[in-house]
Amino acid sequence: MRKLLALALLACVSTATFAADASCEAKATEKKLAGAAKNSFVKKCEKDSKAAGAQASCDAKAAEKKLAGAAKNSFVKKCVKDAGAA
């Protein structure tokens, strides 16, 4: 059951990351940004979305491994760093 939950979470994270590109563009348009300001905003927004996705994915992996406390924190921190989102 936990593996199914972890896989469902990973699927949602992948979909969310894909949607982040369009969402970031929409937010930039909503804020009426253009040029360098828009590019900077979208780049930061996408980076933040990727970090959130990596965090959720790593949390799911830690749950699958039944980690808790300091072991979970250490695992998640290393996992996020290895994903390049830190």
Q: Please tell me the predicted confidence (pLDDT) of residue 19.
A: 61
pLDDT digits (tens, 9 = 90+) for 13-23: 555 555 667 89
DSSP string of 30-68?
HTT--HHHHHHHHHHHHHHHHHHHHHHHHHHHHHHTT--
Report residue 83's pLDDT band, with 50, 70 and 90 as the boundaries. confident
Show the domain range for 46: 2-82
Give the predicted TM-score (pTM) of the model.
0.60
Report residue 27's pLDDT band, with 50, 70 and 90 as the boundaries. very high
pLDDT digits (tens, 9 = 90+) for 64-76: 999 999 999 999 9
- Helices 35-64 and 2-30 cross at an angle (nearest 10°) of 170
Task: Name the residue with higher pLDDT: 84 or 47.
Answer: 47
Is the pLDDT confidence value at 82 over 70?
A: yes
Q: What's the structural domain count of the chain?
A: 1
